[in-house]
Amino acid sequence: MMNLTLLTLLAEGTRHQLGLSGHHSHRGGMCRPAQTMFARSDISTEPLDLDLVPLTSVDWPLRDGSWYHNKWNDLETRFSASNTSPEPETASSVWANRHPEPLPQISDQIFRTAFEAGEEDYQKLIEREAFLKENGAMVAKKSPTHYHRRSYMKLKTHNPQQSRHNYIKEYTTRAIVNKFDLKSAAVDLQFLETAEARCDIRPTSCNARNRFRTADGTCNNLDNPVWGASFTAFRRVAIPDYADGVSELKEAQNGSPLPSARLVSTSINLPESNRNNGNCFTLLHMTVGQFLDHDLTLTPIFTESDGSAIECCDVNTASQHPECETITIPTNDPFYSQFGETCMEFVRSEVAETCTSGPREQLNALTHYMDLSQVYGSTLEETESLRAHRNGLLLSQDQGADPDLLPTSMEEDDGCNVADKIDEGQYCFRAGDERVNEQILLTLLHTTWLREHNRVATTLKQLNPRWRDDRVFQEARRITIAEWQHIIYNEFIPGVLGLNLVKMMDLAPQFNGQFTNDYDPTLSVAISNEFATAAFRFGYVSSSITIHEAVSAVRYSFTRPFQNEINQVSSSSGTLERELNSVLNAPFPLYEDGVEEGLVRGETSQRAMRVDTSFSEEITGQLFQGDEPFGFDLIALNLQRGRDHGLADYVTVREACGFGRVRSFKQLGRIMNSDALRRLKNTYRRVEDIELFVGGMSEKPVRGGQVGPTFACIMADQFLRLKRGDRFWYEYSGSPSPFTRDQLRELHQVTMARVLCDNHPDPGEVQRWPLALPTSSNRKVSCASTRTIPSLDLTLWDE
C-alpha cells in the first residue's frame, strides 16, 4: 500500500524547488512541489534556519501562564523561593524568569469592601445601558457593524449571571490594585487566598471509560475536567500588558497612548506594487486555515445585559458604554475621509471566568480541542440541534438528485439572510459555528465536512444495522474528527511552519498504523491568546482580492449582497472572478447548478497570496460594508483587539519564545523586510511598542513555511499542545477507545483530495495534494484513481 501519510514535497530539494535560499520568499515560477507533504522517514535534513536555532534550547511546550500558576500556587513554595534564580534551562521564558511579588495582607473585610464597590459599579453600568437604550443608541441594521457583530455577540448557552460576576470581580481587582499600588503585581493577585470561588466547576465527576469525547470538551482531561472546555479562558504565552495592570487598553512604553489602530494599519501597509502572491499554496490552503480557526477560537464581544449589540460611534463619548473602545480615524485618512468618517466601531471582548483575581482574561466560546466543533457545535444543546436523530446523520437540506446542503438558518435577522432571497426559498446556512456564512469558500468547506460525516454514518449503518442512532453518530463523528486531525497535521501545518520546524517539534503524524504514546495530562491544551488574537490571523489578512471560479458550460446570474449589481457569466469554459466583498455573508450561489464544482476547481488551482504587510482595500476599508459605501478595516480591528486583550508587545513575545531581547529597530533588520521595518520605525516611537500582530506579519517567512519565526513559535507550541494534550487524539494508543492498527492504517491514508472527491458532485480531477498548487510533480488526477487518492475502507468498522 502506498505511503501517503506525510508531505514529500520539500524533501525533494526544497530550497531549490521553491527558491528559498536564505530568507528569500517563495518564487512562484520555481515552485514545483510533488506535494506539500513529506514521508516521515524523508523529512528534510537541511540545517535549521538560523533564526529558528534558539528554539532548540527551549523546553517545549513553552512555559506559559498556566505553568506559572501551577508552579507558584502553593503558598510555601511561592515565598520560600522568593530569592532564588530562575531555572537555568528555561531562562529564556518571561514566565520562568518571573517570581511572584510579595502581596500585602488583604483581609476579608478589605476584599469584601472592594467587592461591594464592584457591585455598585456594575449597577451603574446597568443604569447606563438603560439610559442609552431609552435614547435610541442602537446599531443600525444592514450596517457594517450589524453584519460584523452578528457572528461575535452570541453567547450561546453561556450563563449571563456568570458574566455579571466576572465583571464585578474585575472591578474588585481594580479597587485592590489601586488601593495598594499593585499594577506590576496584578498578575500575582491570582494567588489571593481571599478570592471568591464563584466558579463554573462543571462537571463534578467524569467517567474515564466513556468512549467518545463530550460536545463541550469537558472530561477530556480527567485531572482537570474543564481544561479545554467551551467558555473557558485563553492561556497566555507572555504576561498580559494592560495600562492599569488589570484591564485598560495597553499603552506605549512611555505611558502615552499608542497610535490609532487605523493609523498603524495605513502606515505599515506596503504599496500595491509590492503585493506578491508568489507561494506554492492554493486558496484552499487559506480556507482550510480559516475553517481550522473556527474549530479552535471564537471570542464573544460584550453585549448589553439583554443581549443586544452596543452602539459606540453615534453616542457622546461621555455617555458611551464602558466597553466601547472606538478606533479613531484621522481626518486625512486616505480612504475614509471621502465619506467623512472619523470613528470605527469597536466593542471589547467578553470577560472570562478564571476563578481567581488578577488581570482581565478573555473567553473562548468553542472547545479548545481540534474536534470539528465548527461542524458539531461546542455545547450539547448545539450538537443535538444539528443532528437528524436518525441513522447517525447530521441535519441537511435535501436537494433531490443533487448532494445535500447545510441546514438553513430561518432567522431573518441573522446578519446574512436577505428578503428577496428568502422569497426565492434561499436561506443562509447554519452549522456548529455562527461564522459559517462569512465567505462562500468557508461555507463550501462546511458543506464538505457535513457530507463527509453523513457519508461515513451511512456506510457504518449499512455495515452495522443493529447500531442505534447515537452509536452511529458518535462513531461517525470519531472517524471524521480523526480524518480532520490527520489532514491538518499532514497537509496544512507543514506548509505554514516549514518541514524543519515540524521535524524538530515532532508534529508529523505517524504512518502505516503506528500509534503514539505521548499524551500528557499535565499539559493545558487551551488556545493561547497570542495564537487566537495575533498569530493565527495571518491567513485572514492574506486573502486573495478575487476568488476564481472555474466555469464550464454554465450560465447564471449572481446578485451582489445588498446592492443592485448583477454579474452574469456565459461561457463554455473559462474563469469567473468574484470580488472578495461580494461573497461575504452571501452563500446563495451554492443553490445554483454548477457553482459548487466551479468553486472547488477554482480554489484548488488559484494561488494564495503570500503573508506580508501588503493588504488590499477590500480588507482595509470594505469589509462587511453592507448598505454603506465603506466597511471595516480588518487590520485595525486586529490591532485594537490585541490591545483589548492586553497582548504583550512583539519584542516580549519573541523573548518568551527564546529569541532573546531586541533593544533596537536595527536588530530586526535581519528578520524583517527592509521596507516593512522602515514603516514600523516611522510608526512606533520605540521598538518595544511594536504590536505582536504587525511585528509578526513583518517577519520574513521561515524556510518552506508562510510565517516568520515568532508566529511559527506560537503556532508550533499550540499545535504541540493540541496533539499531546488531547486524550482522544486519533493516534493515541491509550485513548478510551483507540482505533485498531488496521483502522489507523486506513486513517493514515486519508487526504483532503479524497474528501473533496467523495463529497462533491463532479470535481473531475484534483491534484493529489490540493492544498498545494498543481505542478508537474503534483498533477491533477481523476477522482476515480483510488491508487493515487486512496479511499477510506470503512469495512474495518464492521462489527
208, exposed or middle or buried, with CB in 10 Å at 0-12, 13-18, 19+?
exposed
For residues 301 and 348, the answer to whether their CB atoms sit within 8 Å is yes
Q: What is the dihedral of CA 334, 336, 340, 343, to 10 degrees?
A: -120
Calpha distance 773→282 (Å, rounded): 5
Could you tell me how far CA 480 lies from the centroid of its own chain?
20
φ and ψ at residue 397, rounded to 5 degrees: -95, 120
Calpha distance 626→144 (Å, rounded): 5
Residue 103's H or E segment, with its range, is none
Best CA proximity match to 523, nearest among 723, 701, 271, 729: 723
Residue 782: other Cβ atoms inside 10 A: 13
Calpha distance 760→284 (Å, rounded): 15
Calpha distance 237→653 (Å, rounded): 7
481, exposed or middle or buried, with CB in 10 Å at 0-12, 13-18, 19+?
buried
Geometric angle at alpha carbon 154, from 150 and 158, rounded to 5°? 175
Q: Helix axis angle, 440-463 relative to 595-603, nearest 10°?
A: 100
| 760 assigned binding-site residue | no
Q: Which residue has the cell 462533491?
A: 760
Calpha distance 772→178 (Å, rounded): 54
φ and ψ at residue 554, rounded to 5 degrees: -125, 135
Calpha distance 751→408 (Å, rounded): 29
Residue 205 grid cell: 465527576
Strands 343-344 and 327-328, by their bridges, are: antiparallel
Residue 347: other Cβ atoms inside 10 A: 23
- DSSP bridge pairs for 568: 557
Category of 727 on φ-ψ map: left (φ > 0), alpha (ψ -120 to 50) or beta: alpha
Residue 159 grid cell: 450563563
Calpha distance 372→728 (Å, rounded): 13
Calpha distance 668→662 (Å, rounded): 8
For residues 530 and 715, the answer to whether their CB atoms sit within 8 Å is no
Q: Which residues are catalytic?
A: 294
Residue 364 grid cell: 473562548
DSSP H helical ranges for 219-356: 261-268, 283-296
Calpha distance 24→89 (Å, rounded): 33
CB neighbours of 773 closer than 8 A, spacing ≥ 6?
31, 33, 280, 281, 282, 605, 607, 767
Q: Helix axis angle, 469-487 relative to 440-463, nearest 10°?
A: 130
Calpha distance 619→399 (Å, rounded): 34
Calpha distance 639→691 (Å, rounded): 7
- Tell me the binding residues: 548
Binding site listing for heme b: 548
